Amino acid sequence: MAIEDELSPNAVKVYKAMKEMGHISEEKMGTAERITQSSRLPKTMVMNALQELQTKGFARRKVREKAAGYYLLK
């Protein structure tokens, strides 16, 4: 099953942007700001897409001192 079948178009775009930037492990996680810049979507859409990715088990959020970091699991 392809990710396009499970996720909304915005979530797919965010997923692909994160994969291109290499946010594939906890050591290489990125902030929502960087993901917003690379996906070229408005920040609210990126935040909603990140929430969807977390809910469906594709991404994880880690709270840090300044900004939360996001990375892919699948």
pLDDT digits (tens, 9 = 90+) for 9-24: 999 999 999 999 999 9
Residue 1 lies in a domain: no
In this structure, the number of other CB atoms found within 10 A of the CB of residue 55 comes to 10
The answer to whether the beta carbons of residues 35 and 50 sit under 8 Å apart is: yes
pTM of the model: 0.92
CATH number at residue 22: 1.10.10.10
2 in a domain, yes or no? no
Mean pLDDT of 19-37: 94
The total of structural domains in the chain comes to: 1
The contacts of residue 65 (CB under 8 Å, 6+ apart) are none
Q: What pLDDT, on a 0 to 100 scale, did the predictor assign at position 56?
A: 94
Residue 44 lies in a domain: yes
Name the residue range of residue 68's domain.
7-72
